[in-house]
Amino acid sequence: MNPLHIPQLLALATLMVLCWQVFLARSIRTFWSRELSVFAVFFTLVTLGLPLAASRPTAITYWTATYSKIAIMTVAIAWLTRTPRDFALASRAFVFAGAAIAAVTLYNKANGIGLVEGTRVTIGRDIQSVLGDPNDLSLVLLFPLSFATSLFIRRTGWISALFGFLATLMIITAIIATQSRGGLLGLMTVFAIVGSRVIKSKAVLISIGVVAAIGLFAVAGISGRSSGGAGEEGIDESSMGRIYAWGAAWHMALKHPLNGVGVDNFVDSYFAYSEHWDGHNHAVHSTWFGVLGETGFPGILVFLFLIYTIARSAFDAVQRLDRPEAPASARAMSLALLAGIAGFCVSGTFLTQGFTWPVYVLLALTTAISRFAKSDGDLSQSATDIREAE
């Protein structure tokens, strides 16, 4: 499928639709927001760091091939997603994609394809796919999980609810098959956010969460992993690897406080900054430390503010749309985004996704739902004022 360049073709089609709607049909009014402004600052910092990167060719190649496209599509998605119908279509598309990835994951697990450490499932590891690492696969699966759960929680119709329920079961099973501790923590976070909107008693919610956590880790067989399992005494090898990588990221930021080592340069720079060398370069396995090491202190501060901004906007949208007359698809989208952002923050502490698609799709959709919630709330308030005046 690689020679078909399907992602690039879909992105090109999206941009063509956007240009048509904005410049020719004039059916879309462009806008700018606080979320996009913070993202623009972060994107500028990443771009300014290119000529100062430890390996300029590596940084420029990644920026050109991936990150610049992410920036363009972030704005495009924010502008194109405007109505309840758009939100419903986007939610179902994400859930369908998540169910498809989960199906491949479970197929690989059942047939022993692409297993790491004998038990941890991956997709396309032999072709160096972005899903070829079980930790990255689990984080990618977390993204549609929040949309799947919101479909049946928010009563978006029995067909959508059934679809969301079945997809949720598939995705949960697939995440368990990756045996990723970060993925399981993210999964529990997603359900904690969704559960808090359904279960009002905090004591009941916490009790269910504790039991579910114990059950998930037992079913996932974390203790049986060859790395990070119960057979390793003290701090396991997997955890120590993360600690060494985080230390390397810290040293990168201290050495290059303003710009870091440059985007996509962590792995290549690991040897020069790590206090422990086992003969191999390693990934940072943390979104926060990854951004710190590759963009320096200004970059991590702006990135943290970006996450705070979209989390606050998503929470505000949930509050504004938490009323019976609000469109069900918009309510489902706002809840999915809030749960998705929370899941990203928790799992991202142990997984590397600072410069890949999921968080930026969350950013774009949060920008869109926040704008809709504000305009919808203003219209509803105006209608209420008119009725009261009459």
pLDDT greater than 60 at residue 31: yes
3-state secondary structure of 383: helix
What separation in angstroms does the CA of 343 have from each of 46, 139, 193, 276, 299? 24, 9, 9, 31, 22
Dihedral Cα 27, 33, 39, 44, nearest 10 deg: 90
Give the domain ranges of the chain. 31-223+248-389
> Contact, 336 vs 91, CB < 8 A?
yes
pLDDT, one tens digit per residue, over 353-379 is 899 889 999 999 999 999 999 886 544
Rounded to two decimals, the pTM is 0.86
Q: How confident is the model at residue 5 (pLDDT cuts 50, 70, 90)?
A: low
CB 268 within 8 A of CB 281: yes
Residue corresponding to tokens 């969301």 = 164
Amino acid of residue 45 = L
Return the structure tokens found at 100. Answer: 């498809």
pLDDT at 381: 45
How far is residue 157's CA from residue 335's CA, in Å, rounded to a whole number?
16
Which of 18, 73, 70, 75 lies closest to 47, judged by CA?
70
Quote the distance between the C-alpha of residue 266 and its chain's center: 20
- Tell me the pLDDT tens digit for each residue of 182-207: 888 899 999 889 888 777 777 777 77
pLDDT for the residue 266: 94
Sign of the torsion formed by the C-alpha atoms of 314, 320, 326 and 328 = positive
| Predicted local distance difference test score (pLDDT) of residue 228 | 45
Residue 123: the pLDDT is 92
Q: Average pLDDT, whole number, for the chain? A: 85
pLDDT at 106 over 80: yes
- Rounded to 5 degrees, what angle do the CA atoms 154, 157, 159 make? 120
pLDDT at 163 over 70: yes
Ranking 131-145, 178-192, 222-236 by mean pLDDT, the lowest is: 222-236
> What is the rounded CA–CA span in Å between residue 62 and residue 50?
10
Q: Tokens representing 301?
A: 């501060």
Judge contact between 153 and 123, C-beta under 8 A.
no
> Are the C-beta atoms of residues 317 and 135 closer than 8 Å to each other?
no
Provide mean pLDDT across the span 7-25: 72
Candidate from 171-185, 198-212, 271-285 with smallest mean pLDDT: 198-212
Q: How far is CA 67 from CA 48, 63, 64, 272, 364, in A?
A: 13, 5, 6, 25, 15
Q: For the chain, give the number of residues.
A: 390
Q: Are 351 and 130 in contact (CB under 8 A)?
A: no
The pLDDT of 286-306, averaged and rounded, is 96
Q: Is the pLDDT of residue 28 over 90?
A: no
pLDDT at residue 15 tops 90? no
pLDDT at 202: 73
pLDDT at position 51, please? 95
Q: Would you say residue 232 has pLDDT above 60?
A: no
